[in-house]
Amino acid sequence: MKKAIKYVVLLVAAFAVVFVSSNKSNQVFAASKPTYSKLYKTAKSKLHAHYSYGAVGPNCFDCSGYTKYIYKKSVKKNLPRTAQSQYQSFKKVSVQNRKPGDLVFFGGSKRSISHVGIYVGKGLMINAQNRGVVLESVSAPWWHAVGYSRPANLK
């Protein structure tokens, strides 16, 4: 009888260990999912940084260097180096389905992307350009939006 009780106690303990450890791994996974708030906080922290063609941060950027730096630093997502290669690398989304954190691309056409910014909602983006890192309208008259892409599914 004592052996049977020990066996049942061991079985219950083993089940409890498996259950608790699986819940912890799910919590770790859920906590590590990239969030828009982390991306936005990092992007905002670089407002007014200087612009320099070819610069990738941390204090000076060009447009694609900025998006690459922000995604890597905030959500551990590695983006290609140029605006054109960033456009070609990720799932496209329509204007109607864009979300904060998506990349917005500008240029003459889909084959001649010349600029990229991070869409932050309400028609605004943060981008690095000749005035430095700024918050501005996606529909500013000097930009011709070509499309949007979603490098990461942010919660």
Kind and range of the H or E element at 141?
none
**In the annotation, is 127 catalytic?**
yes
Q: What is the per-residue pLDDT across 87-138, written as a single tens digit (0 to 9) for each?
A: 999 999 999 999 999 999 999 999 999 999 999 999 999 999 999 999 999 9
**In the annotation, is 63 catalytic?**
yes
Query: Of 31-35, 58-62, 63-67, 110-114, which range is least confident?
Result: 31-35
Q: Of residues 26, 127, 144, 153, which has the active-site annotation?
A: 127
**In the annotation, is 48 catalytic?**
no
Q: Are the beta carbons of 64 and 86 closer than 8 angstroms?
A: yes
Sign of the alpha-carbon torsion through 57, 62, 65, 66? positive
Q: Of residues 23, 50, 60, 63, which has the active-site annotation?
A: 63
Q: Of residues 26, 50, 78, 115, which has the active-site annotation?
A: 115
